[in-house]
Chain A
Amino acid sequence: MPTPPPSFPMPDQPDLASVIEDFLAGEPAVSQADVEAILANAAASEAIKAQAREALDWAAMSAPLRSEITPPPGARERLLAQLRAADAPTETAAPSAASFFPAGDLFADTLEAFFDGRLTRNEMDHMINDPQAERGFRRDLAETLTLTDTLRRAHARLEPEPAACDRLLDAIAQLAADETDLGSLDDEEDALAPIPFPTTPTTGFDTPDLLAAGLEDDTDDPATTPEHEASSEQDPEDPSVRPTDR
């Protein structure tokens, strides 16, 4: 829709509202100037002008956010379409708490986009506050973001002293030197020899040797055993381990 000149005869009020709606929906045929023309036109009602003002405010606020977002093709559209589906289930939805991803991959996609920086924190808040989004989705998202916010605030006190790593590297070098000295005396092993890794695939966690080293064996821990097994025995690409099946 071309920008109306000042003398442009204003259409009926309902049509003005539809112009604003098209603008908010991102219709390429409607520009910001069209909405500004409505705001400037004395023939428009105060209610319509208020709508136009709100639409312009929204555009000004969301423009910088939009410019930051570079989602994969179709991802954002799919995400927002699901979020704003008119018939989105609410109270009677399938129990989202029992399923980690209450709406297919939507939850995973949303978090992934946030962690990757494709969705801003403001946009996440918008989704959490979107009354049209599924309630369980909003709650899960809000709780997860609260957790991640808490962890990120903890970051500062989780930074080790800058020289700590250097001290550790020195200690390793000293240990290696000691081993080399012992090796040359006992002719047992060359500490700097190429790393003798076996070629056969294993779990990567050699429990008997860890026990021999005086470390704990946590293979009885049901919380850790499946994870270790999963790291070596399950195909991560296997749909059976995809998060959507939780």
Chain B
Amino acid sequence: MVEHRTSNIMPRPHEDRQEWFQRVVCDHYNLMFVTAFTTLGDRQEAEDAVQTAVLKAYQRISTLKEPKAIVAWLKMIVRNTALDAVRARRPDHATSDPSDFGGLSAPQETPVEDNDRQQLVLECINELPETQAAVVELRVIYERDINDIAESLGLTANAVRVRLHRGLERLRADPRVRRAFGWEDH
């Protein structure tokens, strides 16, 4: 398991660009991996996508205006890179909705099995706004502390709470999720 280390997301004194970037990438590798894996459904492809995205990001690091936004920025680049990879391997689906890629977005008439539910919820998280998705993943899946998440994402603790609750509410309200879990409509 990649260890989660609590860190200051901002560059430290005397820390050069590479050192700072590597530290941030290492601290948030899981978050990027889950984004890519959810989109691609394959561990090796996910690792490759993360690597491609992170190297691309490193080359464009000077375009990042606020260092505190780096985690959401990286996550967005990883997601887009993973989507590109999906489109590359499935050209016939290149114009379809990204949410279709996991194969679970078609209407479900009956509640689905647990693994499928996991995948579906993860796919729905991937469709949330970047920081909302990151907050849900870090808080719920990786059980990170609110203040730690706030520091990672350059938000206040209260903003993290708002995003967590809004993210969970969006997931719960998603018709695909409600169908999969057999919940009646709101």
**Are A203 and B65 CB-contacts (below 8 A) given A151-B141, A213-B60?**
yes
A-facing residues in B37-73 (Cβ within 8 Å): 37, 43, 46-47, 50-51, 54-56, 58-69, 72-73
Total A-B residue contacts, Cβ distance less than 8 Å: 213
Is B140 part of the contact surface with A, judged by Cβ < 8 Å?
yes
Given contacts A112-B161, A201-B66, contact A150 B132 (CB under 8 A): no
* Cross-interface CB contact of A192 among B16, B55, B63, cutoff 8 Å: B16
The answer on a CB contact under 8 Å between A150 and B17 is no
A238 → B minimal CB distance (Å) = 10
How far apart are B7's CB and chain A's nearest CB, in angstroms? 14
B41 to chain A, nearest CB (A): 11
CB-contacts of B123-145 with A (<8 A) = 127-132, 136, 139-143
Which residue from A162, A175, A203, A246 sits with its C-beta under 8 Å from B2?
A162
B177 pairs with A165, CB closer than 8 A? no
B85, CB-defined interface residue at 8 Å: no
Interface residue from B17, B60, B69, B72 paired with A209 (Cβ < 8 Å): B60
Contact yes or no, B165 A195, CB < 8 A: no
Within 8 A of B (CB), among A130-185: 140, 143-144, 146-148, 150-155, 157-162, 164-165, 167-169, 171-173, 175-176, 179
State whether A108 and B161 are in contact (beta carbons under 8 Å apart), knowing that A159-B1, A160-B30 are contacts in the complex: yes
In Å, the complex CA distance between A216 and B183 comes to 35
Contacts from B to A (Cβ < 8 Å): 1-2, 11, 16-18, 20-22, 25-26, 29-30, 33-34, 37, 43, 46-47, 50-51, 54-56, 58-69, 72-73, 76-77, 80-81, 83, 114, 117-119, 121-122, 127-132, 136, 139-143, 146, 154-156, 158-159, 161-166, 168-169, 171-172, 177, 181, 183, 186
Give A contacts to B, CB under 8 Å: 97-98, 100-101, 108, 111-112, 115-116, 140, 143-144, 146-148, 150-155, 157-162, 164-165, 167-169, 171-173, 175-176, 179, 191-198, 201-206, 209-210, 212-216, 218, 223-224, 226-228, 231, 236-237, 241-243, 246
